[in-house]
């Protein structure tokens, strides 16, 4: 009798444990103890922002920072078109934030870092010991040299590559550079038109190269593998990507590398008109501008205080150190609409206003 | 046989536990995704090169001959997704419904979120670069197809992944990825055009 009771009790305990296990397999409750902070950034910032994620979580137990990387326009579309809950965004083209987000989705940004265009290469590249900032376009023209850049339709690094070759014509006083280096390799041809003193590169609907001299891929990251394996000699890249990947690179003059505010008037003279409107929320023209990374907190953030803390961290000395270590040159933070910046950021005492460059 | 109160209590408890387990098992087996089956209210507009138009509901699309294969993709920052088991309709077959696609045509695939991707004739027929998922190095691959996917891994496509219709680049063989910008989500219009029009 006692034995049968023990047997039944044992079976009951096993059944109870099995029921709990099955219940857990079906139902996975959210952890209510952790706050999720959603951060979406441009692809060239991903290494930096993974570091920000790690350090911010160390300083804020109970916060789960979720970082995602995309093209800059896609970053913003997560808020404006896909209506996702995003707490902080950071893009590689500061002008996209007012163009796509103001006033409904945001009303300020802070520029916090910069970058520049370079010609990246490896030890295996032909004429690696010969290429300089004075002769790079001559080297790229050589019949046995191959190079690549990302598709301007899909990646800002791609249309910036075209801007660099156009700007090079002005800087080196040589009106054949764009044709000889880039345009001659495409079918249909890439047309260039001039309107007053503005030069417009008109991309075809389908961007297909007709020679094996050039490699075009959707993202500049794919070109890194090409360089690694010696499958191309050179690639137009952001300097940070070249450095992060341990590549050599040609430093270009600031008049053409899109790094300098002093050359902004010159950059503005060159426009790339894309072949089709990939996103209805932004037009098809991309004009030359200095490269600035900028971030903002969307109006729809669910965690405004925490988002401000994250932005503060990026702008802090520790944050600037992370940017420096991940090869993204930090700048003195600059706000476009000082009146709209959260007070907690103003009180840092490090943010400059626009135009006059005075501290806020 | 007389049953003691304690034994009877244990027997009743055993029956209750068995009932709970049985109910949970039923729920899991009936709704593996945790949600009951749903109807999809979605239209796909096909526009031919001559301007002829055909609208298919989701259910009508599913009645067309289907194609199944493996596919995966990577984002602009190198994040990899998949490999998925993809089921859908060959895009080339959809083009046939509105007059077909010719070598000089392009295919415009758009979604209501404002996204648009333009494909060449060759790409529609599967001429797309494939990459090794481990290294993102290009690797040759044959037998690629472009489909308009409506099932991913045996179920409706998750909302964030582009439910109910998404472009997918697939093959009968696994072990490759393609560029993510081809995998247009929430597709609601496919148009055949001639460049320059």
Inter-chain touch B118–A206, beta carbons under 8 Å: yes
Q: Which residues of B touch A188 (CB under 8 A)?
A: 195
Does A117-287 match A36-113+294-356 at the fold level? yes
Considering only the beta carbons, identify the residue of A8, A25, A276 that sits closest to B116. A276
Name which of A7, A13, A22 to mutate to probe chain B: the one with the most chain B Cβ atoms within 10 A of its Cβ. A22
Inter-chain touch B181–A221, beta carbons under 8 Å: no
Whether cis (ω within 30° of 0) applies to the bond prior to B164 is: yes
Q: Are A107 and A98 in contact (CB under 8 A)?
A: no
Instruction: Tell me, yes or no, if A222 comes closer than 8 A to chain B by beta carbon.
Output: yes
pLDDT of res. A249: 98
Q: Are B66 and B89 in contact (CB under 8 A)?
A: yes
Q: Which residues of A touch B105 (CB under 8 A)?
A: none
pLDDT band at B36 (very low <50, low <70, confident <90, very high): low
Q: Which residues of B touch A229 (CB under 8 A)?
A: 137
How confident is the model over B96-121, as pLDDT tens digits? 999 999 999 999 999 999 899 999 99
Query: Distance from A145 to chain B by nearest Cα, in Å?
Result: 20
pLDDT of res. A281: 79
Work out the percent of chain B whose per-residue pLDDT is above 70.
Answer: 81
Residue with tokens 């081809």: B182
pLDDT of res. A128: 97
In terms of CA atoms, which chain B residue is nearest residue A83? Answer: B113
Residue A71's nearest CA partner among A99, A86, A90, A51 is A90
Residue ranges per structural domain of chain A: 1-33, 36-113+294-356, 117-287
Instruction: Tell me, yes or no, if A12 comes closer than 8 A to chain B by beta carbon.
Output: yes
Q: Which tops the pLDDT comparison, B135 or A63?
A: A63
How confident is the model over B158-194, as pLDDT tens digits? 999 999 999 999 999 999 999 999 999 999 999 999 9
Q: Which tops the pLDDT comparison, A285 or B26?
A: A285
Considering only the beta carbons, identify the residue of B10, B13, B115 that sits closest to A279. B115
Query: Distance from B173 to chain A by nearest Cα, in Å?
Result: 23
Inter-chain touch A70–B76, beta carbons under 8 Å: yes
Residues in chain B: 197
Query: Distance from A11 to chain B by nearest Cα, in Å?
Result: 8
* CATH homologous superfamily, domain A117-287: Periplasmic binding protein-like II (3.40.190.10)
pLDDT of res. A327: 95
Angle between helices B5-30 and A2-26 (to 10 degrees): 20
Instruction: Tell me, yes or no, if A275 comes closer than 8 A to chain B by beta carbon.
Output: yes
- Number of helical H runs and strand E runs in chain A: 13, 15
| Rounded CA separation A167/A137 (Å) | 12
Lookup: tokens for B168: 């997918």
Considering only the beta carbons, identify the residue of B75, B114, B131 that sits closest to A70. B75
Name which of B28, B77, B182 to mutate to probe chain A: the one with the most chain A Cβ atoms within 10 A of its Cβ. B77
Mean pLDDT across B30-35: 52
Considering only the beta carbons, identify the residue of A5, A208, A281 that sits closest to B6. A5
Long-range CB pairs of B6-14, under 8 A, 24+ apart, other chains included: B6/A5, B7/A4, B7/A5, B7/A8, B10/A5, B10/A8, B10/A9, B10/A12, B11/A8, B13/A12, B14/A8, B14/A11, B14/A12, B14/A15
Q: How many CA atoms lie within 13 A of B79 on its CB side?
A: 12
Inter-chain touch A16–B108, beta carbons under 8 Å: no
Long-range CB pairs of A22-28, under 8 A, 24+ apart, other chains included: A22/B21, A22/B24, A22/B25, A22/B28, A23/B24, A25/B28, A26/B24, A26/B27, A26/B28, A26/B34
Query: Distance from B40 to chain A by nearest Cα, in Å?
Result: 20
Mean pLDDT across B144-170: 97
Q: What is the DSSP letter of A53?
A: H
Inter-chain touch B25–A22, beta carbons under 8 Å: yes
Instruction: Tell me, yes or no, if A189 comes closer than 8 A to chain B by beta carbon.
Output: no
Q: Are A199 and B162 in contact (CB under 8 A)?
A: no
| Rounded CA separation B150/B152 (Å) | 7
Its ipTM equals 0.80
Where residue A246 falls (left for φ over 0; alpha for ψ -120 to 50; beta otherwise) is left
Considering only the beta carbons, identify the residue of B20, B116, B129 that sits closest to A278. B116
Residue B55's nearest CA partner among B44, B69, B63 is B44
Considering only the beta carbons, identify the residue of B17, B34, B196 that sits closest to A12. B17
Output the 3-class SS for A226-245: HHHCCCCCEEEEEHHHHHHC
Inter-chain touch B75–A69, beta carbons under 8 Å: yes
pLDDT of res. B196: 67
- CA A125, A129, A132, A137 dihedral sign is negative
| Rounded CA separation A139/A144 (Å) | 9
Mean pLDDT, 10 residues at a time, over chain A (360 residues)? 70 72 56 86 94 97 95 92 95 93 96 97 97 98 96 90 96 96 87 91 85 89 89 96 96 97 95 88 89 97 97 97 96 94 93 75
In terms of CA atoms, which chain B residue is nearest residue A227? Answer: B137
Lookup: tokens for B26: 């039923």
Is the pLDDT confidence value at B33 over 80? no
Q: Which residues of A touch B7 (CB under 8 A)?
A: 4-5, 8
Considering only the beta carbons, identify the residue of B24, B75, B115 that sits closest to A278. B115
Residue A147's nearest CA partner among A168, A166, A120 is A120
pLDDT of res. A14: 76
* CATH homologous superfamily, domain A36-113+294-356: Periplasmic binding protein-like II (3.40.190.10)
Inter-chain touch A15–B179, beta carbons under 8 Å: no
Tell me the pTM: 0.83
pLDDT of res. B81: 94
Inter-chain touch A9–B115, beta carbons under 8 Å: no
pLDDT of res. B135: 86
Instruction: Tell me, yes or no, if A187 comes closer than 8 A to chain B by beta carbon.
Output: no
Q: How many beta-carbon pairs below 8 A join chains A and B?
A: 105
Inter-chain touch A69–B118, beta carbons under 8 Å: no
Inter-chain touch B116–A155, beta carbons under 8 Å: no
Q: Are A117 and A164 in contact (CB under 8 A)?
A: yes
Output the 3-class SS for chain B: CCCCHHHHHHHHHHHHHHHHHHHHHHHHHHCCCCCCCCCCCCEEEEECCCCCEEEEEHHHHHCCCCEEEEEEEECCCCCEEEEEEEEEEEHHHHHHCCCCCCCCCEEEEECCCCEEEEEEHHHHCCCCCEECCCCCCEECCCCEEEEEEEEECCEECCHHHCCCCEEEEEECCCCCEEEHHHCCCCCCEEEEECCCC
| Strand, coil or helix: A151 | coil
């Amino acid at each position: 009798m006692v034995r049968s009771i023990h047997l039944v009790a044992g079976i009951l305990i096993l059944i109870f444990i099995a029921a709990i296990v099955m219940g857990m397999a079906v139902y996975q409750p959210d952890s209510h103890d952790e706050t999720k902070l959603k951060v979406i950034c441009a692809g060239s910032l991903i290494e930096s922002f993974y570091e920000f994620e790690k350090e911010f979580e160390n300083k804020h137990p109970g916060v789960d920072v979720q970082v995602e990387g995309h093209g800059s326009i896609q970053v913003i579309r997560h808020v404006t078109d896909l209506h996702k809950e995003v707490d902080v965004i950071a893009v590689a083209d500061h002008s996209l934030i007012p163009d796509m987000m103001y006033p409904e989705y945001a009303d300020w940004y802070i520029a916090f870092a910069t970058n520049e265009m370079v010609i990246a290469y490896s030890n295996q590249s032909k004429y690696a010991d010969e290429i300089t900032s004075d002769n790079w376009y001559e080297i790229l023209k050589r019949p046995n040299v191959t190079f690549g850049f990302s598709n301007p339709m899909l990646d800002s690094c791609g249309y910036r590559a075209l801007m660099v070759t156009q700007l090079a014509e002005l800087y080196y006083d040589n009106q054949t550079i764009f044709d000889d280096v880039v345009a001659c390799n495409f079918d249909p041809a890439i047309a260039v038109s001039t309107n007053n003193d503005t030069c417009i590169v008109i991309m075809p609907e389908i961007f297909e190269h007709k020679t094996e001299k050039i490699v075009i891929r959707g993202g500049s990251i794919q070109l890194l593998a090409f360089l690694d394996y010696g499958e191309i000699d050179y690639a137009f890249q952001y300097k940070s990507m070249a450095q992060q990947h341990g590549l050599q690179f040609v430093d270009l003059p600031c008049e053409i590398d899109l790094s300098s505010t002093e050359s902004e008037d010159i950059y503005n003279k060159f426009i790339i008109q894309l072949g089709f409107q990939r996103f209805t929320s932004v037009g098809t023209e991309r004009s030359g501008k200095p490269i600035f990374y900028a971030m903002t907190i969307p109006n729809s953030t669910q965690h405004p205080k925490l988002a401000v803390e994250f932005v503060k961290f990026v702008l802090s000395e520790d944050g600037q150190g992370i940017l420096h270590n991940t090869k993204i040159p930090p700048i003195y933070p600059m706000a476009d609409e000082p009146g709209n910046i959260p007070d907690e950021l103003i009180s840092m005492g490090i943010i400059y206003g626009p135009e006059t460059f005075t501290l806020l | 046989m007389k049953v003691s109160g304690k034994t009877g209590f244990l027997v009743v408890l055993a029956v209750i536990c068995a009932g709970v387990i049985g109910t949970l098992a039923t729920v899991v087996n009936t709704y593996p995704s945790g949600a009951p089956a749903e109807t999809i209210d979605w239209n796909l507009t096909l526009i031919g090169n001559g301007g002829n138009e055909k609208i298919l509901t989701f259910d009508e699309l599913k009645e067309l001959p289907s194609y199944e294969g493996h596919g995966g993709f990577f984002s602009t920052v190198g994040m990899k997704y998949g490999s998925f088991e993809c089921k859908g309709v060959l895009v080339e077959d959809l083009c046939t419904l509105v007059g077909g696609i010719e070598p000089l045509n392009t295919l415009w695939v758009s979604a209501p979120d404002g996204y648009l991707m333009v494909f060449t004739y060759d790409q529609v027929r599967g001429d797309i670069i494939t990459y090794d998922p481990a290294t993102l190095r290009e690797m040759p691959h044959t037998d690629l197809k472009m489909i308009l996917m409506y099932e991913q891994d045996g179920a409706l496509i998750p909302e964030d992944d582009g439910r109910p219709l998404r472009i997918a680049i697939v093959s009968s063989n696994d072990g490759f990825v393609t560029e993510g910008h081809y995998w247009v989500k929430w597709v609601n219009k496919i148009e055949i055009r001639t460049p320059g029009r």
